[in-house]
A and B are shown apart, each in its own frame.
Chain A
């Protein structure tokens, strides 16, 4: 089956094509086509995963574009441990999100379109994971970006959603530009785009380290854009304008993790460029703490989760930058499951109260006990409480960071902040009395089922990385690598810090009350303002786009209008003016012409004769 792994990506594409060709007239048929196709893809993924654990590895390439005498451009797919892991994560989360969407999107006028784009996205994401070649990967990379744009703007009649879609597309494009430049740069130096060949050449030392550093930094630009790392993070909070299942699938579990996956996929190259690794680790660590602080003050439940996603992606980047690729991927897998579940919980809450604003929620635990349970477990897992999945992966990352005090400190502080903002969400949403309107039109089974299913990996997916069991995932992803040793001191410290975070949230928000936190906000007003305004990064971008860029454009426009056009129009006006002045010579009087003629003849005669001398 692994040799036909392309089927996994082809199935959702087929669903998309059928829906686009005409099935879209029946919304329910479109939805079930998508679910069926992705379900089948998930099944095949599991089979392939089973085969890969048994030692199967496949790589197939096809000539796409013959290039004269040079190496042709190839496209192809590969199945190895990294791909197999991602295939299972992407297809299973996608399947559950599609089922959830059946209930969440019910009655939406764009129901069929929504599922068509979801199928297209799943195809692109699976293709991205399967690609064995940087060029093919880049094509799928852009396709997921397009789907993200289309789905953020699903409710495009809302100006804020249309603007958010545009922002997501444009900001990630800045990163993608770097990615493309990096691909070209590596091709220039290595004359191949096959990732395995690149890895061989790097291992053989055929590519100078300086070139590798530049190439990997450029590729990291793309990863930073997709994974919303500082300074290309600004689009992710706004992307929450899209439907909540879209946020769960694209902006929590899969597409934003593509940046981390890319760094893991190119890890054999990255590990030979220590400078680039340092940059990846620093940006990851900085984003982790930077995003977490903004999550502390946001009142929009989905935005808090978006900041949390940015922060956790920063964690994964930091792990990869520190050389702990398996730990980063381990966290990616765990995060995909519990963050997708947290988003689906948020969707369930939003479905109940028709608002994203937490100050208008409160006391929803009574209406939605299952959501309450799922979200609490998810939050505990995210905070890193033993024995939930988040604990094991977070601990491994912290263990990898021990050697670098600054990053370790940042990571530990992030643990505290993560626990604090997640329990702030829990208290504000579920505890205390209702603060706003509740429109309980019941929760469809299609929305409850995915929560129950996702609870299983949230609790248990840590098993694949427990050091006492020999860290199966590390052995799977990096065979022969030294498995991360369990560090009880680090584990104890991180657990205490997380509990302190939960304790702080409890002190401030227990019973769903907001008065104590308001008092704290007032006493720390400048910091609060800074955080609410997201460190003014968006202001700076707006200033650059609106002030500097538009200013230059204004100058160029005026130069064109007054200098360039002025010259062209000036020549024309000169001719018109001169003509207007000269036409007065044309009196229409025959005798005037005759006079002119006479004077002319006399003058010519004088000119001809005078040099001869008058005799």
Chain B
């Protein structure tokens, strides 16, 4: 069984698929926690894309390989962790106020 190398397209397709799934979840789900999870999915889709590009980006001649994409992904993971903490805190506060985590209940900004 031959081993096929992982091409750039594979990584990008995976990243785009993850992002789209996350986007669909964030737009369609009504549960605030599910939306938070969907947003995590979108962030990870982006991370995959970053890493894929980094893997296939040659460094300048005589220089170490380009690491910007990798570093970016690590930053995104860090920020996503913080975002998850803040997001969950918001959901918790909202729950205390409305006794529900359904997102369509929070509509006090309606014009």
Contacts and interface: CB of A to CB of B under 8 A. Distances in A.
A334 B111 CA distance: 89
A588 interface: yes
A584 interface: yes
A594 interface: yes
Chain B interface size, as a band, is: 10 to 19
Given A598-B23, A598-B27, A591 B110 contact: no
A587 B107 CA distance: 7
Interface in B32-78: none
B100 to A, nearest CB: 14
A594 B110 CA distance: 15
Contact of A591 (B27, B108, B109): B27
A612 interface: no
A590 B27 CA distance: 9
Nearest to B107: A588
B111 A583 contact: yes
Contacts of A587: 107, 110-111
Nearest to A584: B111
B111 A590 contact: no
A586 B111 contact: yes
A588 B23 contact: no
A531 B108 CA distance: 82
Interface in A561-615: 583-591, 594-595, 598
A311 B110 CA distance: 84
Chain A interface size, as a band, is: 10 to 19
A267 to B, nearest CB: 83
Given A594-B26, A595-B27, A598-B27, A585 B106 contact: no
B110 A590 contact: no
B103 A588 contact: no
A591 B108 CA distance: 14
Contact of A588 (B26, B27, B110): B110
B28 to A, nearest CB: 8
Contacts of B106: 588, 590
Contacts of A595: 27
Nearest to B109: A588
A587 B103 CA distance: 13
Nearest to A593: B109
Contacts of B23: 598
Contact of A586 (B26, B104, B110): B110
A594 B28 CA distance: 10
A595 B107 CA distance: 15
Nearest to B23: A598
Interface string B74-111: 00000000000000000000000000000110111111
A594 B38 CA distance: 13
Contacts of A594: 26-27
A541 to B, nearest CB: 61
A20 to B, nearest CB: 68
B107 A589 contact: yes
A588 to B, nearest CB: 3
Contacts of A583: 111
Contacts of A584: 111
A295 to B, nearest CB: 80
Contacts of B109: 586, 588
B108 A590 contact: no
A595 B24 CA distance: 10
Contact of B103 (A586, A590, A598): A590
A217 to B, nearest CB: 72
B111 A591 contact: no
Nearest to B104: A589
Contacts of A586: 109-111
A589 B103 CA distance: 8
Interface string A279-306: 0000000000000000000000000000
A595 B23 CA distance: 10
A585 B109 CA distance: 11
Contacts of B104: 589, 591
Contacts of B26: 591, 594
Nearest to A579: B111
A274 B16 CA distance: 107
Nearest to A580: B111
B107 A591 contact: no
Contacts of A591: 26-27, 103-104
A235 to B, nearest CB: 66
B6 to A, nearest CB: 24
A585 B106 CA distance: 16
A595 to B, nearest CB: 6
Contact of B108 (A585, A588, A598): A588
Nearest to B110: A588
A520 B106 CA distance: 98
Contacts of A589: 103-104, 107, 110
A363 B27 CA distance: 111
A581 to B, nearest CB: 11
A369 B111 CA distance: 95
Contacts of B110: 586-589
B56 to A, nearest CB: 21
A449 B37 CA distance: 118
A399 to B, nearest CB: 95
Nearest to A586: B111
A240 B109 CA distance: 76
Contacts of A585: 111
Contacts of A598: 23, 27
Nearest to A582: B111
A583 B109 CA distance: 11
A533 to B, nearest CB: 70
A268 to B, nearest CB: 84
Contacts of B103: 589-591
A154 B23 CA distance: 91
A595 B108 CA distance: 18
B73 to A, nearest CB: 22
A575 to B, nearest CB: 15
A594 to B, nearest CB: 6
A594 B104 CA distance: 13
8 closest A-B pairs by CB: A586-B111, A588-B110, A583-B111, A588-B107, A588-B109, A587-B110, A594-B27, A589-B107
Given A588-B110, A589-B104, 12 more contacts: A583-B111, A584-B111, A585-B111, A586-B109, A586-B110, A587-B111, A588-B107, A588-B108, A588-B111, A589-B103, A594-B27, A598-B27
15 contacts: A585-B111, A586-B109, A586-B110, A587-B107, A587-B110, A588-B107, A588-B108, A588-B109, A589-B103, A589-B104, A589-B107, A590-B106, A591-B27, A591-B104, A598-B27
